[in-house]
Amino acid sequence: MPDLFKNYIDGQWVEAKSGRTFENRNPADRRDLIGLFPASGAEDVEAAVSAAKKAFAKWRLVPAPKRGEILFRVGELLRQRKEEIARSMTREMGKILKETRGDVQEGIDTAFYAAGEGRRLLGETTPSELPDKFAMSVRLPLGVCALITPWNFPMAIPTWKLFPALLCGNTVVLKPAEDTPYSAVELFEILEQAGLPPGVANLVHGTGEEAGAALVRHRDVQLISFTGSTAVGREIAAACGQSLKRVSLEMGGKNGQIVMEDADLQLALEGALWGAFGTTGQRCTATSRVIFHRDIRKKMTEMLIERAEKIKIGNGLDENVQMGPLINEAARKKVHGYVQIGKGEGARLLTGGTIYEEGEWVHGLFYRPTIFDEVTPTMRIAREEIFGPVLSLIEVKSFEEAIEVLNATPYGLSSSIYTRDVARAFRAIRDIEAGITYINGPTIGAEVHLPFGGVKETGNGHREAGTTVYDIFTEWKSVYIDYSGRLQKAQIDSVD
């Protein structure tokens, strides 16, 4: 009998009201069934939102430093279970152990950061224009927040949203991705163990179309915090526009790494390989384009091919493996489809471009590291998010052209430039259209105490992480305290 996992609603582990379930399998070996999870519908969402609404009445009044103490305990428990969670995450979604350990670490860092924020959560005090009057602004929670998350960072992304939301005094319902429900179960076991009161955080599994859409529609949900594809984000934004719900969107990317002729090529090579093939290319910040100066093109291309062909593919639980599988069959079909599109557009396939199913790997969803040369900025493989181990090489003649090419996509999440010229580095910081720019580092590797998010079709103006995420999960209230004992009129009495 397969393991049967449940939703977590109002402090209880419960099945979907319909009794329906869905399977979760290991992408490195599809024969390995992790378990069955509730295929929740609108009635389960109703129960979760109603529990969150009820819990909000008390939770909003718990002092923020106390809420922070609970999150501190959550961080400690995550730290204790780090290795176990990393292992089950690799089994569930395929990326290698080093990376799943990093994913859990991001959750730990976010918990400790949020715990500290409990003793800050700053508002402003500012002078009034009138005598005997005091002015300040304070942050208040919103109410019930719905968090909808993707599968590629099963711990980091839910915790980025969950911990700040809770710290600010909101209650939440999390709908994790269908491909990584088990990681969410582990996170909620820890929340329960840390003493989070019932109803404050609720977990509802299921598909986006059913459980996700029911959350987006629900009248008692004040905010949708979504990370995922731009196509789904657009739909959610449209629905939230109709209901005037606050919505924070973190979406796709088509990130580029510029390599100038004066760069340290070895460093640029290591960055490109890690950025393009880490997490099998399935990061929103993955490097999917290397934009290099023509003077170093030949050398850099040779170095890239040689190293890409040596990448050890396999089950991420093996410490020697460097690249795991793609998440599911649809993802592999999509990646392979883009390889055909690239060939059709006239790009030159240098290496890879095929499914990897040698020996025991026939049961997994593996794909070879793939590199295309002679890519032009208007090709689809240079503009659209592939979300797999496919790297496009684009040659440029100057720094100005490199920036122009880097900016020539609908997305604007992460970016990088390798150069030893400090003036070029600063111009790149100024001119690149992206939420993140690395100088002499790959496009991946964000730290939790800096704002995270992107411009253009990557986001809608919000930033997660850092102090900026606290703007997503709070409402500002301006407060005026008049102790003059008379009616004072702003803009009228203050003039002259």
Alpha-carbon gap, residue 38 to 161, rounded angstroms: 22
- Catalytic, out of 117, 240, 284, 385: 284
Judge whether 168 counts as a catalytic residue. no
Tokens coding 334: 């999509």
Cα separation of 451 and 462, whole Å?
9
Is 284 noted as a catalytic residue in this protein? yes
Binding to ligand NAD (CB under 6 A): which residues in 252-311? 252-253, 284
- 9: which 2 tokens? 């609603």
Would you report the helix, strand and coil content of the chain in percent, each value rounded to 5?
40, 25, 35
Of all helices (H) and strands (E), which one includes residue 341?
A: helix 329-345
Q: Which is nearer to ligand NAD, 181 or 352 (CB)?
A: 181
Positions 316 through 355 that interact with ligand NAD (CB under 6 A): none
How far is residue 470's CA from residue 163's CA, in Å, rounded to a whole number? 10
Point out which span in 135-143, 224-232, 357-365, 402-410 binds ligand NAD (CB under 6 A). Answer: 224-232
Residue nearest to ligand NAD (CB): 208
Q: How far apart are CA 121 and CA 140, in angstroms?
A: 10
Q: CA separation (Å) from 239 to 93, 216, 250, 453?
A: 30, 7, 16, 21
Beta-carbon contacts of 288 under 8 Å, excluding residues fewer than 6 positions away, are: 254, 255, 256, 276, 281, 385, 386, 390, 391, 392
CB of 320 to ligand NAD, least distance (A): 27
Among 162, 232, 247, 272, binds ligand NAD (CB under 6 A): 232
Binding mask 94-133 for ligand NAD (x = CB under 6 A): ----------------------------------------
The single residue among 75, 102, 212, 352 that binds ligand NAD, judged by CB under 6 A, is: 212
* String marking each residue 397-416 x if it binds ligand NAD according to CB under 6 A: ----------------x---
Q: Does 457 participate in binding ligand NAD (rule CB under 6 A)?
A: no
Quote the tokens at residue 41: 């519908």
The active-site residue, picked from 178, 250, 395, 464, is 250
Q: What's the rounded Cα separation, in Å, for the pair 178 and 164?
A: 23
Q: Which stretch binds ligand NAD (CB under 6 A): 73-81, 212-220, 307-315, 365-373?
A: 212-220
Q: Which stretch binds ligand NAD (CB under 6 A): 195-203, 228-236, 340-348, 395-403?
A: 228-236
Q: Does 152 bind ligand NAD (CB under 6 A)?
A: yes
Cα–Cα distance, 194 to 475 (Å, whole number) = 27
- Residues with a known catalytic role: 250, 284
Binding site for ligand NAD (CB under 6 A): 148-153, 157, 175, 177-178, 207-209, 212-213, 216, 227-229, 232, 235-236, 250-253, 284, 385, 387, 413, 458
